[in-house]
């Protein structure tokens, strides 16, 4: 019998939630759900040389370590671990496990830790993600999100009604608790982002009616073993989790991790994980970088990727992660930052969409909901998918709107006369003579043919679409958004209007749309490209669509882009303590720039930063000290706000007299 011993090693935290690597074809049967897959296929590590398996985790040859394997059992996959005193002993244990027919994957155990940092701000993310409007369509009711983390304070006043039975895996392959203890705080913070209740007290989660399933795999220091994470994933799937959210990770891949994740996705569970907190030069973080896992990068409140957030080809989507306010032990709240905070926003957004899908299809899976969420994300950075933001910022309202929008109908010919079912003539059988079964029976005779009843055909009026909405107006409304207003149609058609669809389009730009209820007369269309001129129109729906209204046009606004310095026209003024910094002319973001700012910072720590303002593109900075070197940058402002400082700077040194 193998003995189990805990190994100490550093590991990085990460978040996993139900994932959909390549999407799901079709929808699961509403009555049966995903098929019960209880056995896993063998992975490549089963046939690799034991020395190669051990070498994948670089440790000193004399250091103790733990070998982890996933084996198929009569009740489904299980995780086992065995200790080894050094590399040679580990190779021997790997070989023994590979020889066991039940083993499907084997690896060396590693450490993971929570990915978070303290910051200061408030719950800006809910506003950014338009959750108030999203909650009109879904609050995530009935969806279970497994938070695989440091545990959750189940008694927290924001979470008590959301928490369901969980599990605890800390150095054991079987659960030793219910996950409702959090000696670190990280897991409670993540859980609050997912499902803190919407009661006006403390904070609110993105999916306030969803359930949190706490799966504790990290200790009070925020550290744990990958074998425990694997056990937690499998347990969560077997106990009804729709989404597995993991705000943890590390730099090394493991065959056993991949097997556990494959088990989750094969049953329709979405797996979401943090991208990592090692910045632009960081290595890929696992499990976020595994195929099939939704890897989440982190954003600041201005939709810029956090400096700490990993980048790379494995990034699928971005979400708010900087200065996030959420629940924390004991029964309080705290500001934290990291891809750990971004991950639960995506997990909770999947819950919102999945709950809505299940209103009409009880067999819908989280993978299908994830497909819809990725397809309706808010594009950031380079057009299309990129290594910083993936598909873009998560946009649950857009996904829910796309799901709720009635399908576009093609024109069909008006039916001619229709026969009412109650008036349909039933043909009579041809009369016949049947021999008597017995002598005592009366002799049958042929029955006379009855006269068929007269059938009257009545032409029903064809359904009639409403006329187009009237008095459509569009005006720039904040950053990269347009407010579209309209009046009701003169003719509602043959039935009451159910909704209105609004859209804004520009040449070479993605068309953005929204659907509003029948009693609404306006909508804010977001995600537009600043400086572009959009045409916006509206149509009504009563079971049939009206024609689109005439378009109203407006130019989209945003704060200015960062200016560029003209080095040929930026120089000190001879005989003075001044420098003129000139900005290159370009197509600045609409509306018009009204002010320019410059700052010159001493290269050494001595001296003060000197600033200046100007209404034109040439800014004169005064009060510089002769002989001292400065680095100067510029920014510009309009009625919406101020740009970032110019990326490039100029370095100056005033001559001494």
Of 186, 230, 262, 285, which residue is the catalytic one?
A: 186
Token pair, residue 575, equals: 């005989």
Query: CB neighbours (10 Å) of residue 3?
Result: 7
Catalytic residue check, 340: yes
Q: How far apart are the C-alpha atoms of 250 and 278, rounded to whole Å?
A: 10
Beta bridge partners of 485: 473, 522
Of 109, 149, 242, 255, which residue is the catalytic one?
A: 149
**Residue showing tokens 């159910």:** 498
Q: How far apart are the C-alpha atoms of 58 and 421, rounded to whole Å?
A: 78
Coil/strand/helix, residue 46? helix
Q: How far apart are the C-alpha atoms of 62 and 50, rounded to whole Å?
A: 16
Q: How far apart are the C-alpha atoms of 212 and 194, rounded to whole Å?
A: 8
Q: Taking the CA of residue 637 as centre, how many other CA atoms within 13 Å lie in the half-sphere pointing to its CB?
A: 11
Sequential DSSP letters for 505-566: E-TTS--EEEEEETT--EEEEESPPTT-EEEEEEEEESSSB-PPPPPEEEE---PPPPP-B-
Q: How far apart are the C-alpha atoms of 466 and 460, rounded to whole Å?
A: 18
Query: CB neighbours (10 Å) of residue 160?
Result: 12
**Residue showing tokens 């605890």:** 168
Q: How far apart are the C-alpha atoms of 464 and 585, rounded to whole Å?
A: 55
Cβ atoms of residues 636 and 563 within 8 Å: yes
Containing 233, the helix (H) or strand (E) segment is helix 226-238
Containing 273, the helix (H) or strand (E) segment is strand 270-274
Sequential DSSP letters for 86-135: SHHHHHHHHHHHHHSTTEEEEEE--EEEE--B-----SHHHHHTTHHHHT
Catalytic residue check, 316: no
Alpha-carbon distance values, 295 to 148, 238, 314, 492 (Å): 15, 23, 7, 46
Q: How far apart are the C-alpha atoms of 59 and 86, rounded to whole Å?
A: 9
Catalytic residue check, 189: no
Cβ atoms of residues 319 and 194 within 8 Å: no
Q: How far apart are the C-alpha atoms of 234 and 73, rounded to whole Å?
A: 13
Of 309, 340, 377, 546, which residue is the catalytic one?
A: 340
The set of catalytic residues is: 149, 186, 340
């Amino acid at each position: 019998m193998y003995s189990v011993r805990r190994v100490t090693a550093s590991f990085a935290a990460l978040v996993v939630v139900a994932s959909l690597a390549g999407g799901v074809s079709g929808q699961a049967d509403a009555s049966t759900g995903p098929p019960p897959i209880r056995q896993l296929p063998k992975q490549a590590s089963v046939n690799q040389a034991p020395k190669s398996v051990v070498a994948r985790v670089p440790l000193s040859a004399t250091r103790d370590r733990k070998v982890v394997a996933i084996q198929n059992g009569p009740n489904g996959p299980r995780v086992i671990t065995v200790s080894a005193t050094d590399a040679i002993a580990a190779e021997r244990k790997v070989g023994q496990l590979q020889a066991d027919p039940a083993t499907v994957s084997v690896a060396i155990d590693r450490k993971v830790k929570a990915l978070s940092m303290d910051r200061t701000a408030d719950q800006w993310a809910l506003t950014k993600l338009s959750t108030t409007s999203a909650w009109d369509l879904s609050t995530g009711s009935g969806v279970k999100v497994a938070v695989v983390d440091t545990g959750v304070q189940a008694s927290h006043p924001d979470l008590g009604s959301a928490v369901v039975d969980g599990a605890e895996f800390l150095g054991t392959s079987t659960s030793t608790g219910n996950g409702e203890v959090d000696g670190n705080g990280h897991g409670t913070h993540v859980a609050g982002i997912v499902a803190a209740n919407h009661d006006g007290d403390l904070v609110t989660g993105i999916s306030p009616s969803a359930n949190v399933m706490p799966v504790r795999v990290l200790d009070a220091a925020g550290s744990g073993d990958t074998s425990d994470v694997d056990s937690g994933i499998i347990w969560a799937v077997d106990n009804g989790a729709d989404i597995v959210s993991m705000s943890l990770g590390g730099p090394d891949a493991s065959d056993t991790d991949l097997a556990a994740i494959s088990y989750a996705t094969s049953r329709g569970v979405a797996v979401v994980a943090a991208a990592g907190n090692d910045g632009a030069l960081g290595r890929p973080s696992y499990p976020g970088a595994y195929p099939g896992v939704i890897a989440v990068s982190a954003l600041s409140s201005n939709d810029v990727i956090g400096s700490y957030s990993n980048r790379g080809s494995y990034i699928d989507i971005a979400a708010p992660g900087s200065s996030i306010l959420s629940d924390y032990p004991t029964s309080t709240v705290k500001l934290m930052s990291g891809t750990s905070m971004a991950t639960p926003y995506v997990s909770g957004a999947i819950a919102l969409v999945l709950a809505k899908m299940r209103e009409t299809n009880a067999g819908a899976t989280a993978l299908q909901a994830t497909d819809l969420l990725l397809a309706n994300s808010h594009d950031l950075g380079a057009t299309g998918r990129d290594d910083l933001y993936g598909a873009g910022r998560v946009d649950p309202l857009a996904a829910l709107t796309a799901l709720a929008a009635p399908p576009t109908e093609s024109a069909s010919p008006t039916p001619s006369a229709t026969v009412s079912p109650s008036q349909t003539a039933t043909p009579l059988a041809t009369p016949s003579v049947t021999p008597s079964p017995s002598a005592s029976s009366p002799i049958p005779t042929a029955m006379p043919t009855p006269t068929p009843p007269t059938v009257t055909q009545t032409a029903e009026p064809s359904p009639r679409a409403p006329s187009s909405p009237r008095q459509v107006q569009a005006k720039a409304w904040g950053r990269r958004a347009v407010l579209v207003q309209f009046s009701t149609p003169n003719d509602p058609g043959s039935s009451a209007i159910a909704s209105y669809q609004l859209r804004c389009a520009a040449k070479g730009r993605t068309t953005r749309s929204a659907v509003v209820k029948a009693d609404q007369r306006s909508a804010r269309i977001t995600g537009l490209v600043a400086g572009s001129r959009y045409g916006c129109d509206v149509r009504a729906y009563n079971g049939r669509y009206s024609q689109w209204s005439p378009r109203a046009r407006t130019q989209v606004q945003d704060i200015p882009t960062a200016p560029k310095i003209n080095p040929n026209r930026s120089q000190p003024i001879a005989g003075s303590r001044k420098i003129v910094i000139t900005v290159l002319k370009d197509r600045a973001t609409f509306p018009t720039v009204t002010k320019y700012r410059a700052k010159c910072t001493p290269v050494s720590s001595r001296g003060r930063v000197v600033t200046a303002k100007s209404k034109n593109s040439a800014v004169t900075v005064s009060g510089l000290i002769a002989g001292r070197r400065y680095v100067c940058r510029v920014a510009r402002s309009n009625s919406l706000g101020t740009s970032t400082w110019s990326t490039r700077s100029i370095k100056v040194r005033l001559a001494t007299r």
